[in-house]
Structures are given as C-alpha cells and as structure tokens.
Amino acid sequence: MANYVAHLQPELAVNYCQLVVVWVDDPASTRAARHELGATFPFLCDHERKLIAELDIVDTTDSHHSRIAIPYTFVLDAQRVIYRIYNGWWYVGRPTVEELRMDLRALVSRRSDWWYDDTRPPYAREQAARR
C-alpha cells in the first residue's frame, strides 16, 4: 500500500482514475491508518466483514487474524466491468504500480477523446474500426 501512496498516488491526482481500498477495520481505525499512510485516495470500511463474505473472498488460511480478505485487486473500466483480477494471496501476485499503470492506460485509451480527431494516426483509425 505504501508503494501505491508513494508512486501511484501522484499519478492518480492528475490522470482522473481512482483507487479505492476496502479495509476491514471500523471507520475511526481506518481513518487513522489512511492518515498514517499518507493516502488521499478513498478507503471503505468492511468492518463487519459482510462484503468479503458475500464476495466469498475471506482468507480462511490465516489463523492470526479474524476473517480478513484474500488480497484481491480488481481493475474496473468506467462502467465497473472487470478488466483484470490480481490474486495477492502470495505477495508476488499483487500488482505492481507499473502493471496498474498499464491497465489504466489500456482502459483510458478506449475513450473516444483519447485521440483528438485531427491528430489520430492511421493505425489508431484502423484499431478503432476493428472494435
């Protein structure tokens, strides 16, 4: 998370995309954690663990913590359609800042205003025609 604060958060401030964290503490504890991290992106609190149970992403392998989430990351397009899922149960499965940047670029480039009409190169017109 600290990596996202340090390296992704500055880009989110200018690229219109959003990062939302689902945290499993109550609002006061979550607010304290967010401030400690220095995060400006929003945190939502699933302190009753109802959402992670509903989505069936509760980690049952961790005997030290009570009903925490398997650390999945979902990349969504503007209509909330799932573009990519990262399973972060193994730390190496969690997306890097660069992977998220590439995912967000791919999604934002679907916008009709990605190219200004008078600057769209031929290959982009061909790509658009194939979609």
Partner 1 sequence: MQDNLRPGETFPDIELPGDDGKLTKLSSLMRGFPTVVVFSRGYY
Nearest approach, Cβ of residue 63 and partner 1 (Å): 14
Nearest approach, Cβ of residue 6 and partner 1 (Å): 13
Q: Is 130 in the site for partner 1 (CB under 8 A)?
A: no
Relative to beta strand 58-59, strand 68-69 is antiparallel
Contact pattern for partner 1 over residues 79 through 118, marking x by CB under 8 A: xxxxxxx-----x--------x--xx--xx----------
Do the Cβ atoms of 5 and 11 come closer than 8 Å?
no
DSSP string, 95-106: PPHHHHHHHHHH
Helix (H, G, I), strand (E, B) or coil at 69: strand
Fill in the DSSP letter of residue 127.
Answer: H
d(CA 58, CA 51): 9
Contact pattern for partner 1 over residues 39 through 78, marking x by CB under 8 A: ---xxxxxx---xx-xxxx-x-----x--xxxxxxxxxxx
Contacts of 103 (CB under 8 A, 6+ apart): 75, 83, 84, 95
Q: Is 131 in the site for partner 1 (CB under 8 A)?
A: no
- Whose Cβ is closer to partner 1: residue 3's or residue 127's? 3
Q: Which residues contribute to the site for partner 1 (CB under 8 A)? A: 1-2, 4, 16-24, 27-28, 30-31, 33-34, 37, 42-47, 51-52, 54-57, 59, 65, 68-85, 91, 100, 103-104, 107-108
